[in-house]
């Protein structure tokens, strides 16, 4: 039944998308508006905007109410930063009068369009293919309302679909109002609908407040339209997980799991080995190239990009980090870092923002690097802190070397030129420069620049007493 369609092939004139995002999200128990909660590294509203844009409607309306200013600003920023360029219209719902109340506020927007796709801001897993198929089905069947439904093993919390013997939809019954027999129905309302707007607008005026909060339920519009002779049908999704709505943090975690699995599937299908997908966490936008192997315990966040034939993990956390081809990273944390090709990092390394490593560099265990460059073929193999430092090529930094970049007031730079050799347990008190090919004796505390090619020793002479 489900039709597949390529993005952009659906020219749907007179179509708008209306997103409902004004609800209080009470069950989230949060001071953050529900649609701004992150999943897959993006606010939930991102997924809805992406979906709405993909349908190429003539307009997108977004009903905001609870914390409206925050939701509107973040939604605009998200649309801008992802180049979602369909026109957005924000509609204010002044009081939380229910999903029907939200659509009623949107009438001045809706009346400009013949057909409206209404979706909830809290169903981020809906796919373009399904929504496109819903609109197509609605048109082909010449319905006045078509709603997207799914059969769930556990329908708890969703509106149940009551069908006529011929299969048309008679009404939607919310769980709070369902009889035991109705509650046993496992076909549920996804909260996504396709309406002929004129009939919807007529019905909205007649929806009576109901339920414990005296809300106007959008779902009641369906029976009103049917009572006026309109045809109300359902289009059932073949992938029930798509309709998952986020009302609680438990459902948010379920959405996170599905988004993660989708991201992992995408990587695996493009030639990445994921050794244990159930213990690997990848954000929506992460890119990894062919023949890279991801071991368990890896978390890839934000705009992370990994090249070809890398070995990542076990246990690494990379955020907004770029890794070139043929790198190996074990038990590594890197945030806003660039690791260039054929470099190895870890185990137990912490690379901080602004760091550039490689190519062919080696960062070893218990090493922290902050805002520094570690040049071609250079090594910081053991137990070091390197901060605000520029290390050129073929430098060896001995175990336990520390750059003393902070004097209590300002941060200062260390420069280590090519082929320098820093002995073990050296303190480099910045600002300081170590010259090309210079050597520093183990245990030295270097406070003055070291010229090219010399050996510097700055430590107390040993005395053996008896």
Residues paired with residue 402 on neighbouring β-strands, in sequence order? 385, 427
Minimal distance, residue 364 CB to ligand UD1, in Å: 50
187 touching ligand UD1, by CB under 6 A: no
Q: Would you call 463 helix, strand, or coil by DSSP?
A: coil
The whole-angstrom separation of Cα 380 and Cα 402 is: 11
Confirm if 383 and 402 have CB atoms less than 8 A apart. Answer: no
Question: What would you measure as the largest C-alpha separation in the chain, in angstroms?
Answer: 109
Structure tokens at 291: 């023949």
CB of 298 to ligand UD1, least distance (A): 32
Sole binder of ligand UD1 in the list 101, 124, 314, 346 (CB under 6 A): 101
Contacts (CB under 6 A) with ligand UD1, residues 144-183: 158-159, 172, 174
The span of 83-91, 115-123, 200-208, 394-402 binding ligand UD1 (CB under 6 A) equals: 115-123
What mask of x and - would describe binding to ligand UD1 in positions 212 to 231, judged by CB under 6 A? -----xxx------------
Q: Which of 189, 316, 326, 332 binds ligand UD1 (CB under 6 A)?
A: 189
Position 120 contacts ligand UD1 (CB under 6 A): yes
- Provide the 3-class DSSP secondary structure of residue 134: helix
Judge contact between 313 and 297, C-beta under 8 A. yes
Residue 403's binding partner among Ca ion, ligand UD1, none (Cβ under 5 to 8 angstroms by kind) is: none
Residue 245 in the binding site for Ca ion (CB under 5 A): yes
Residue 222 binding target from Ca ion, ligand UD1, none, CB below 5 to 8 Å by type: none
Cα 208 off chain centre by:
39
Site membership for ligand UD1, residue 235 (CB under 6 A):
no
Q: What does 164-193 look like in DSSP terms, one character per residue?
A: -TTS-EEEEE-GGG--HHHHT--EEEEEEE
Nearer to Ca ion, 47 or 137 (CB): 47
CA angle 420/425/430 to nearest 5° reads: 65
Q: Which residues contact 72 (CB under 8 A, 6 or more apart)?
A: 62, 64, 90
Among 15, 17, 18, 20, indicate the residue that binds ligand UD1 (CB under 6 A): 20
- The partner residues of 406 in beta bridges, in order of sequence, read 411
Other CB atoms within 10 A of residue 222 CB: 28
First to last CA, the chain: 93
Least spacing, CB of residue 124 vs ligand UD1, in Å: 11
220 has catalytic annotation: no
Nearer CB in complex with Ca ion: 27/257: 27
Residue choice 60, 122, 242, 388 for contact with ligand UD1 (CB under 6 A): 122
Backbone phi and psi for residue 30, each to the nearest 5 degrees, phi listed first? -140, 150
23 binds ligand UD1 (CB under 6 A): yes
Q: How far apart are CA 2 and CA 325, in angstroms?
A: 40
Given ligand UD1, Ca ion, none, residue 158, with its beta carbon under 5 to 8 Å by kind, binds ligand UD1
Question: Which of the listed partners (ligand UD1, Ca ion, none) does 96 bind, with a CB threshold of 5 to 8 Å by partner kind?
Answer: ligand UD1
**Binding-site ranges for Ca ion (CB under 5 A):** 122, 245, 247
User: Would you please indicate which residues are annotated as catalytic (active-site) residues?
Assistant: 382
**Binding-site ranges for ligand UD1 (CB under 6 A):** 20-23, 63, 65, 93, 96-99, 101-102, 120-123, 158-159, 172, 174, 188-191, 217-219, 245, 247
């Amino acid at each position: 039944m489900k039709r597949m369609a390529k993005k952009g092939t659906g020219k749907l004139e007179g179509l708008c998308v209306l997103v409902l995002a004004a609800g209080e999200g009470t069950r989230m128990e949060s001071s953050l508006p529900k649609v701004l909660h992150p999943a897959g590294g993006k606010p939930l509203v991102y997924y809805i905007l992406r979906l709405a844009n993909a349908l190429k409607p003539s307009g997108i309306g977004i009903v905001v109410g609870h914390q409206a200013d925050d939701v509107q600003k973040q939604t605009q920023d998200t649309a801008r930063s992802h180049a979602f360029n369909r026109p957005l219209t924000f509609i204010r719902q002044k009081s939380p009068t229910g999903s029907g109340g939200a659509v009623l506020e949107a009438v001045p927007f809706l009346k400009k369009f013949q057909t409206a796709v209404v979706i909830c801001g809290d169903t981020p897993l809906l796919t373009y293919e399904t929504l496109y198929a819903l609109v197509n089905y609605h048109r082909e069947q010449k319905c006045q309302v078509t709603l997207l439904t799914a059969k769930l093993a556990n329908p708890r919390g969703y509106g149940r679909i009551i069908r006529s013997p011929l299969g048309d939809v008679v009404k939607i019954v919310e769980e709070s109002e369902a009889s035991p027999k109705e509650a046993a129905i496992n076909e549920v309302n996804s909260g996504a609908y396709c309406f002929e707007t004129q009939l919807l607008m007529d019905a909205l005026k007649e929806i009576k407040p109901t339920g414990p909060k005296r809300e106007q339920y959008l779902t009641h519009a369906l029976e009103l339209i049917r009572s006026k002779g309109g045809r109300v049908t359902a289009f059932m999704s073949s992938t029930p997980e798509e309709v998952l709505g986020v009302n609680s943090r438990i459902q948010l975690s379920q959405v996170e799991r599905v988004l993660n699995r989708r991201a992992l599937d995408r990587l695996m299908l493009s030639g990445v080995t994921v050794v244990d997908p159930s213990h690997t966490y990848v954000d929506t936008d992460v890119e990894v190239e062919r023949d890279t192997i991801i071991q368990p315990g890896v978390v890839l966040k934000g705009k992370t990009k990994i090249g070809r034939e890398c070995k990542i993990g076990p246990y690494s956390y990379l955020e907004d980090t770029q890794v070139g081809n043929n790198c190996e990273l074990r038990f590594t944390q890197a945030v806003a870092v660039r690791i260039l090709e054929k470099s190895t990092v870890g185990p137990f390394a912490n690379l901080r923002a602004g760091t550039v490593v490689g190519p062919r560099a080696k960062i070893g265990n218990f090493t922290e690097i902050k805002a520094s460059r570690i040049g071609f073929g250079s090594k910081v193999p053991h137990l070091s802190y390197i901060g605000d430092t520029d290390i050129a090529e073929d430098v060896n930094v001995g175990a336990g070397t520390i750059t003393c970049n902070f004097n209590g007031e300002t941060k200062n730079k260390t420069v280590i030129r090519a082929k320098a050799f820093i002995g073990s347990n050296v303190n480099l008190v910045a600002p300081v420069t170590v010259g090309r090919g210079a050597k520093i004796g183990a245990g030295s505390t270097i406070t003055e620049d070291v010229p090219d090619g010399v050996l510097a020793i700055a430590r107390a002479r040993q005395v053996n007493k008896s």
